[in-house]
Amino acid sequence: MTMIPHPLRSALAVVVLSVIVGSCGGGDATGSTVEATTTSTVVSTTVAPPEGVETLTLTKAWGCGHGFWMSDQGETMGLLIDMGGVDQASLEAGTPVELPNEQWRATVMLGEDLFANWCNDVIDETTPQPVITAEMEITGGTVVPVNIPPLDMECQGDEATLEVRGLTAAGPDGDVTIPDMTMVNTSWGCFAG
C-alpha cells in the first residue's frame, strides 16, 4: 500500500469533500433548486460595491453575539461591527469611538446569503450558506454606544444599541459611505450552540 504524504492527504480530502458536497442540492419551500456550499471563503480583500452603488442601504438587523450586524434585504451587502475585543471599562454611553480602532472589528461584507443560518444551532446544508466574496474595511467615522449590556452577560434577550455616524469603507475606486443609523442587537450575548 502506498502512503500519501500528510499534506497531500489533507488537500486530497478537501478536494474529494468539495466534489461530493458541491454536487449536492436541495429544494426550498417553493420547490426550486438551491445550491448548497459548506464554506464561507473570502475571495478578495478589496472590491468595489455593485456598479452604481456609492452608498450602502442597509435595512435588516441581525441580533446575536457581542456586536451589531445589518444587511440589505437581499443579504448581498452587510455591515459588521464586532465588539468582541472591546474593553468594557472603556465604554461610556454617549461617548463617540473613532474608527478604525484596534478593539473594534468594523467591516463591510459583499456576497450572497450573507446571514443564512445566522446564529442557528443546527445548520441545514440543503439551504443556502453564506458566501463572502469580499470585505471592505471601515476607514473612518464614529460609533456611539447608547446601551451596551455587559460583554460577559449570558443570553437573556437583552437589547443593545449603537449609533453609527459618518462611516466610510475603502473600495478600490474610492470610499463607499454608510448612512448614519441606529443599530440594534435584540439578542445580546446569545450565541449558536
pLDDT band at 5 (very low <50, low <70, confident <90, very high): very low
CB under 8 Å to 142, separation ≥6 — which residues? Answer: 96, 97, 98, 99, 164, 165, 166, 167
Closest CA to 111 of 88, 138, 78, 81: 78
Single pTM value for the model: 0.67
Q: How many CB atoms lie within 10 A of CB 166?
A: 15
Mean pLDDT of 99-106: 93
Taking only the tens place, the pLDDT of each residue in 83-97 is 878 888 888 889 999
Q: Is residue 159 scored above 70 in pLDDT?
A: yes
Identity of the residue numbered 113: D
The answer, yes or no, to whether residue 54 has pLDDT greater than 60, is no
Over residues 27-37, the pLDDT tens digits come to: 333 222 222 22
Q: Is 82 exposed, middle or buried (0-12, 13-18, 19+ CB in 10 A)?
A: middle
Which of 35-39, 147-151, 186-190 comes out lowest in average pLDDT?
Answer: 35-39
126 SS3 class: coil
Which three cell numbers, joined as nine digits, stand for 159? 437589547
Decide if pLDDT at 176 tops 80.
yes
pLDDT for residue 39: 31
CB environment 45-72: b (16+ within 10 A), e (fewer) = eebebeeeeeebebeeebbbbbbbbbbb
Residue 171: per-residue pLDDT: 81
Instruction: Identify residue 55 by its one-letter amino acid code.
Output: T
Return the higher-pLDDT residue of 40 and 174. 174
Mean pLDDT, rounded, for 109-133: 86
Q: Is the per-residue pLDDT at 11 higher than 50?
A: no
Q: Kindly state the cell numbers that stand for 21.
A: 458536497
Contact criterion met (CB below 8 Å) for 127 and 36: yes
pLDDT of 42 strictly over 90: no
C-alpha span between 151 and 35 (Å, rounded)? 37
Cα distance between residue 52 and residue 175, in whole Å: 13
Judge contact between 80 and 107, C-beta under 8 A: yes
What's the mean pLDDT in 15-36?
A: 29
